[in-house]
Structure formats: C-alpha cells, structure tokens
Amino acid sequence: MTLRTLLIADLHLVADEVEKNQLFKKFCQQAQEADQLFILGDLFNTWLGDDLSAPHYTDIISLLKTLSNKTKVLVMTGNRDFLLAQEFSRQTGCELINSPYLLETNTQQYVLTHGDELCTDDESYQQMKSILQHPITKFIFVRLPKKWRLKLSGQLRQKSIEAQQDKTREIMDVNPQAVIELMQKYPGADLIHGHTHRLNTHTEKTFTRYVLGDWSNTQGNAIEITDKLNRLEIS
C-alpha cells in the first residue's frame, strides 16, 4: 500500500493574521485526504510556552485537533516555536518529533529537518541557538512569569532583526559541507528542509535537497510524496 504524505514548513502563523489562518484551514481540509502530514518547524511565528501561547491560537489548535483525528500529524519544532511541548501535543493530537527524522516510503528515504542547524556559516546564530534551546534554558524560561517571557522574547527578537541586517544572503543559507556531513549518515536518502525560505530543488551528486518555502497570506507550498515526490501550491 502506498501512503500519501504531505510536508510543509515555515507558515509563521500569527494569531490575528486571519487571511493566512484561513489559508491554513483550507490546507488542513485537503490534508484530511492524506495519511500523514509533517510540519517541519516554524508553524507558529512565536511560541513562548504552551501555557502562554496556546490560548492565543485556539482556532489553529482546533484545526489541528480535527485534522489529527483523520491524518497522522507529526510536528518538528523550528527556531521560532522550539518551545512547543507536551501540552500542545495533548491539545492537538499532534506528535512532536526530533530532528533529523528519517521518513521511509516504499521507494525512497528522506531525511527531514527544519534546516537551521545546517546554516553553520551563521556563527552568532548557532551560538545563540545553543544557549536558547539548551534544555536548562528552556526549563527555566517556561517557568518564568508570562510578563517576563513576553518582554524577553521581544528583546531577543529585536536583537535578532538587528543582527540579520548585517548578514549576507550566503551566511543565512545552508552550508554545503554541513549538508554533506548530514547526508553521509544516510546513504541513498534525499533531504527535505525549510527555514531558509528559499523554495528550490537542488540536485547534488548523491542526493537531492528539497527546500520548502515559507507561506504568504495568500499562497503556500507543500511537498506531496506517494510513489514519487510532487510540489503542491496552496492557494
């Protein structure tokens, strides 16, 4: 039996951005026909802990809940929503998965990852990530008062925007060597990731690298895998 798998990433949903949320709703209705959906990070533009952020996204949570009744939904966190945790999983019926994740179909293997860990040229980003996403930091952060978390995340976001202005396009893309090193661990597999917002398909010597794009309010994109891989436009 051939499974039908869908993959998306980088929707960067915001609670009051009604248009994009509508587009995601439409996609979720279509996704009910699939066997499984992988969300490869940054579904949400910010997530400051399940207790703080889930109440802002009740519409999205109920969409995911409805969908996960019919379709298996697997969620990998991105750099914006790395605090998605057990309560989110409980409320939505989505399964949280670690990166990298090996997806095996009848015909091919795919390594799935958000993609930011491959952007090794961006040293300051990687340094920041190793601090922010450290289990101890996460443990402490989600226990801080909500007001502090909001304030801290606002300050961090501002710093990140300022830092990005000084970086070239190349620095913020994946590093070819980092990609090769990852793929050497999975001979014969192809790679699917998001994060860079540079929708493209790169044919390398021993594998193909499929990059998912981000979503605008009116247009999204997905990858569909059955016996072969297709790109889908969502509008």
CB atoms within 10 A of CB 95: 12
Question: Shortest approach of Mn ion to residue 81 CB, angstroms?
Answer: 9
| DSSP codes of every residue in 21-72 | HHHHHHHHHHHTTSSEEEEES-SBS----HHHHGGGGHHHHHHHHHHHHHSE
User: Nearest-CB residue to Mn ion?
Assistant: 195
Closest distance of CB 141 from Mn ion, Å: 18
- Each residue 85-124 as x (binds Mn ion by CB under 5 A) or -, in order, gives ----------------------------------------
Identify the helix (H) or strand (E) that includes residue 79.
none
- The number of residues that bind Mn ion (CB under 5 A) is 4
> Taking Cα atoms as reference points, which of 98, 99, 111 lies closest to residue 186?
111
Q: How far is the CB of 226 from Mn ion (least distance, A)?
A: 27
Binding mask 168-207 for Mn ion (x = CB under 5 A): ---------------------------x------------
Omega cis (within 30) before 100: yes
Binding segment toward Mn ion, per CB under 5 A, in 61-69, 73-81, 137-145, 154-162: 73-81
Q: Is 153 in the site for Mn ion (CB under 5 A)?
A: no
Residue 46 Cβ vs Mn ion, minimum distance, rounded to whole Å: 12
- Smallest separation, CB 107 to Mn ion (Å): 29
Q: Cβ distance 201 to 218 under 8 Å?
A: no
152 touches 102 (CB < 8 A)? no
**Which one, 85 or 144, has the nearer CB to Mn ion?**
85
Count Cα atoms within 13 angstroms, Cβ side, for 41. 24
Residue 220 sits in the site that holds Mn ion (CB under 5 A): no
The verdict on 209 binding Mn ion (CB under 5 A) reads no
- Residue 12, sorted as left (phi over 0), alpha (psi -120 to 50) or beta, turns out to be left
How many degrees, rounded to 5, is the angle at CA 87 between CA 147 and CA 143?
35
Q: Applying CB under 5 A, does 42 fall inside the site for Mn ion? A: yes
Q: Which stretch binds Mn ion (CB under 5 A): 55-63, 78-86, 133-141, 208-216?
A: 78-86
3 state DSSP class of 9: coil
Which of 49, 194 has the CB closer to Mn ion?
194
Nearer to Mn ion among residue 42 and residue 121 (C-beta):
42
Q: Which is nearer to Mn ion, 46 or 71 (CB)?
A: 46
Full 3-state SS string of 80-100: CCCCCCHHHHHHHCCEECCCC
**Contacting Mn ion within 18-37 (CB under 5 A):** none
What the block records as the tokens of 95 is 């399964």
What does the binding site for Mn ion look like in residue numbers (CB under 5 A)? Answer: 42, 78-79, 195
